[in-house]
Amino acid sequence: MNPSFRHTLIAGVLGVAGTVMAALPARAANADAHSYAQPDVVRVSHIDLDLSADFDAKVLHGHADLHLEWQDRSARELRLDTRELTIEKVEVSRNGRRWREAGFGLADADAILGQQLSIAIERQQPKIVRVHYRTAPTASGLQWLDAVQTLGKAQPFMFSQSQAIHARSWVPLQDTPAVRFTYAAKLAVPPGLLALMSAENPQQPSEDGRYRFRMSQPIPSYLMAIAVGRLAFEAIGERAGVYAEPERLAASVHEFADTERMIGVAESLYGDYRWGRYDLLILPPSFPYGGMENPRLSFITPTVIAGDRSLVALIAHELAHSWSGNLVTNDNWNEFWLNEGFTSYVENRIIEALFGAERANMEFVLDTRGLADDFRSLPVSEDLQRLRPDISRLDPDAVYTTTAYTKGSWFLKYLERRVGRERLDAFLRSYFDHYAFKSIGTDTFLDYLQANLLADAGDAVPAAELQAWLNQPGIPEFAPVYEARAFAAIDAARAGFLSGDIGAAGLPGKDWNTHEWLYFLDGLPQEVDGERLAALDEAFTLTRTGNSEIAFAWFQIGIRNGYAVIRPQLERFLMEVGRRKFVVPLYRSLAARDADREWAKSVFDKARTGYHPITTGSVEEVFARAANR
C-alpha cells in the first residue's frame, strides 16, 4: 500500500494510542493478535466465492466455500473472522458433492476485530465448509457509490479495501497475513457493468453481468479485492493496461505509460514478475489511499494524475509490492516494515533507473525529512518509532506510519552503503526467491540476512547497529545522509524570498518540478504573512493548482496562517477527494483553529457521504478529539 506520495504519518488519526481492543481469547503465542483464526489447528488453502452484487441494497450476498487443511486431527471447531456479516447457514462436506448443515455461533463484536464465527465439527473433519452470508451496507471494506458520485454520473460503482483487516467485512475467512490461499469466484452484477478482482480479469463487460475469476497464486486475505463499475480498458504494454471510467481513461493511459518499463526494470533487479499481468484500476477519488497493491490489479487514486508523470513513484511502489509484500509477506501486522520498507527501497531503485539518480535522491530526501518531522511529534513511549513495534492491541489502520516505509527503506540503504549495491541486490533477489509465496517475520528475515549476506561481510554491519535499526526508536546517528543537488538552489531561493531580496515573481518556480516545489513549501516557516502568501499565489496560482500534492502542502500553509483565499478551493478539494493522506491532516489542521472548526464541520457534513468508511471514521475521530481538548 502507498497511503501517500511521501508517506505522511497516519498514527494519531485515531489518537496516538489508537483504539484499544477488549480482552481477547487465549491463542497460540505466535498467533496474529488481529485475527481469531487458529492456523495451527486448521488452514484455509482455497476459497470458492459465489456472490451477487445488489447495488440497491448495497450488499454482496451468496456463499463462500473454504477448503481446509487440518493441522490438528482432534480439533472440533473452526474459527473464522467476520465483521458485520449476516450468517444465514453453514454447511460442511467431505467431497464437495454431499453437504450437511453445521452448527455455528457468532461471538460479541469487538470494536476492532469484529466477530468470531465458530463452526462446530460434530463428526469427521470436513474438507470444505460453505458459509451462506450477506454483507452489511456499512461494511468497512466496501464502498458503494451512487452514479452521481462517479465521474461519468451514469452508473454506480463499488470497490473494496481489504488491508489491513477489512477482508472479513465481505468474506468470512482467516483474515491474517499468515494464511495464504488461492481463490476462484463467480460474480453476478447488473448488466453493463464491468467486474474485476485481484485475479485473472476480463477486459470488456459481459452481456449478462456474470463473471468468473481465478487467482492461482496463494495470497493473504488482505490482497483479496473486488471492483464493479462503468469501466473501460486500454493496454499500455504487453503485460500492463489501465482500467478507468471512460472519461478518465485517456489521461490515465498518458500518465502511466512507463508502467511496462517499470516492470522490466524491477525484473532486471529482483527476478521474474510472477503474477502474469500487471494492470491498474483508477478508482474514484474517494479511494482512501494512494494505492493498493492487489496482485494483478493495483488500485490507484486519481489524485496522482498530474499530467506530467511527476507522481508516478506511486506506481513504482505498488509494482514493487509484487516482490516485497505480495510475494514475501509480513506474517502479522507488527512486522509491517517487511512489506513497506522493502517496497519503498525497491520503488526508489525503479525511479532511479527510469528517471535518474537526482530525482530518486530528491524523493528520498523528502521522505527522510518527513520521517524526521513525524518523529518530532510521535511519542517514543508508544513504540511507533521502532521498525518492530508492538501494535497487537491497536487498530492496524491507526498505525500506518512513516516508520515502516521510510525508516525501513533507510535501513536497506544503510546496508547498501555498508556491503555494496551489487551484493545487496544479489541478496534481495535470493531472498525473494527463497521465500516466494510465503509469510514470514523479522526473525526469519534476520536469520536469512545473517547466513546469506552478513556472514561474509566482516565487521561492515556491527550487531549493535543492526539492533539499533530494528529495535531502537528514532533515526540512528550513523544513518547515511542523502542530499539532492537541486535542493541547494531551492534553499537559496527560499531564503531570498523570505528576506525580501527576491519577490515572488522573481522566483524560478515555473521551472521547478513537483519535488522542488514540495521542498520549497516544506521549508517555509510556520508563520508566513498574508502579503507574501498572496504574492506567491498570484505568481504561481498555487490555490488553483491541479497537482494534488502541491495543493495539499499549500492548503496546510494557508490554514495555519489564516489565508482565507484558499477556502473555496479547499472546500472543493475536501468535497472531491477522499484520500486519507490529504483529508485527515487537513481536517486536523482546521479543527485545531477556532476560526476554522465550525466551517470544517460543515464541509465534512456535506462531503462524508462520498468518503470511504475508513476515511469517515478517521475524520470523526479528529473532531471528537478536538472537542475534548
Count other C-beta atoms under 10 Å from residue 161's C-beta: 27
Residue 169 annotated in ligand binding: no
Count other C-beta atoms under 10 Å from residue 39's C-beta: 20
Residue 474 annotated in ligand binding: no
Residue 215 annotated in ligand binding: no
Residue 161 annotated in ligand binding: yes
Q: Give dist(CA 617, CA 218) in Å, integer.
A: 31
The Cα-based distances of 468 to 264, 390, 458, 472, 474 in angstroms read 35, 16, 18, 5, 9
Residue 124 annotated in ligand binding: no
Residue 580 annotated in ligand binding: yes
Residue 587 annotated in ligand binding: no
Q: Where are the beta strands (DSSP E) in 277-346?
A: 278-282, 291-292, 297-300, 328-330
Residue 321 annotated in ligand binding: yes
β-strand 328-330 against 438-440: which pairing, if any?
Answer: parallel
Can you read off the three cell numbers belonging to residue 300?
A: 490507484
Contacts of 247-254 with CB under 8 Å at 24 or more apart are 247/151, 247/152, 248/151, 248/282, 248/302, 248/305, 251/305, 251/307, 252/280, 252/282, 252/302, 252/305, 254/307
Residue 284 annotated in ligand binding: no
Residue 291 annotated in ligand binding: yes
Cβ proximity of 278 and 263 under 8 Å = yes
Residue 288 annotated in ligand binding: yes
β-strand 278-282 against 297-300: which pairing, if any?
Answer: parallel
Annotated active-site residue in 133, 211, 405, 587:
405
Count other C-beta atoms under 10 Å from residue 520's C-beta: 21
Q: Give dist(CA 565, CA 520) in Å, integer.
A: 20
* Bond preceding residue 164 cis, omega within 30 of 0: yes
Cβ proximity of 270 and 323 under 8 Å = yes
Task: Answer yes or no: 234 catalytic.
Answer: no
Task: Answer yes or no: 243 catalytic.
Answer: no
Whose CA is closest to 37, among 276, 341, 363, 332? 332
Residue 162 annotated in ligand binding: yes
Whose CA is closest to 112, among 394, 384, 331? 394
Count other C-beta atoms under 10 Å from residue 590's C-beta: 25
- In degrees and rounded to multiples of 5, residue 477 shows phi and psi of -65, -20
Residue 289 annotated in ligand binding: yes
Annotated active-site residue in 255, 318, 335, 347:
318
Cβ-count burial 286-297 (b if 16+ within 10 Å, e if not): bbbbbbbbbbbb
Per the annotation, binding residues for a peptide are: 161-163, 288-293, 579-581
Per the annotation, binding residues are: 161-163, 288-293, 317, 321, 340, 579-581
Per the annotation, binding residues for Zn(2+) are: 317, 321, 340
Active-site positions read 318, 405
